[in-house]
Amino acid sequence: MPRVKVGRKSTAIDMTAMCDVAFLLLTFFILSAKPKTQDPVQAAVPASTSNFAIPENDFSTITVGQGKAFFNVQGADVRVQTLKQMGLKYKIAFTPDEEKVFANTESFGVPINVLKQFLNLPNEQKSNYKQPGIPVDTTANNELSDWVHEARVADKYLHNADLHIAIKGDSKEEYPTIHKIISTLQKQKVNKFSLITNLKTVTK
């Protein structure tokens, strides 16, 4: 009896459709991508049901964690302008190179007198550098207050818009630290600001 021979078929699969899908997804992810920003301190934000999106521009974040405060303002132009004004105020001259580095620095937490030194660190050392946080004292030495103020002035000057300020606090942070930040803002008559939270659904 003759054996039934199985005809040999081509092993090639038509990949056109798969390729289409893959590139479609790729395009979507590239367009929606916003690289993760590394915060110098881990802040596990609390959850709430409020559902307001964070604005992209004219926005500033104060990250609070482990009793330290870190400052960030959105937009490279505002950042450079803020640094220039802070330089004038504290009589520190920043070079154009340092300004460029600062424009690319997301969140930072160093006192102004070591900021120059911090900006000149090479990149790999910068991420390992233990940032002590921006001094927030209710009495004399409140650099955070100056940063916020200068950033607000810079934003008004460049974009003619009011800077929106948000606090990104760690949920385990003790209240006195948060209170210090809030009273710093209140001293400048910033009575409306945001708290950054994760979205959670209401349990009914």
Q: How far is the CB of 10 from other proteins (least distance, A)?
A: 5
Window contacting other proteins (CB under 8 A); options: 80-88, 119-127, 152-160, 191-199: 191-199
Q: How far is the CB of 32 from other proteins (least distance, A)?
A: 7
| C-alpha–C-alpha distance, residues 75 and 202, integer Å | 34
- Are the CB atoms for 57 and 158 separated by under 8 Å? no
Binding-site string for other proteins from residue 58 to residue 97, where x marks contact by CB under 8 A and - marks none:
------x---------------------------------
Identify the helix (H) or strand (E) that includes residue 64: strand 59-65
| C-alpha–C-alpha distance, residues 56 and 60, integer Å | 10
How many C-beta atoms lie closer than 10 Å to residue 19's C-beta?
Answer: 10
Q: What is the rounded end-to-end Cα distance, in angstroms, of the chain?
A: 74
Candidates 25, 88, 114, 161; binder of other proteins (CB under 8 A) is 25
Window contacting other proteins (CB under 8 A); options: 79-87, 99-107, 147-155, 166-174: 166-174
Q: Tell which residue, 197, 193, 168, 203, has the closest CA to residue 72.
A: 168
Which tokens go with 37?
């920003």
Q: How far is the CB of 95 from other proteins (least distance, A)?
A: 32
| C-alpha–C-alpha distance, residues 68 and 41, integer Å | 9
Window contacting other proteins (CB under 8 A); options: 41-49, 67-75, 112-120, 151-159: 41-49
Q: Which stretches of the chain bind other proteins, using CB under 8 A? A: 8, 10-12, 15-16, 18-19, 22-23, 25-26, 29-30, 32-36, 45-46, 48-54, 64, 166, 168-179, 182-183, 186-187, 189, 191-199, 202-204
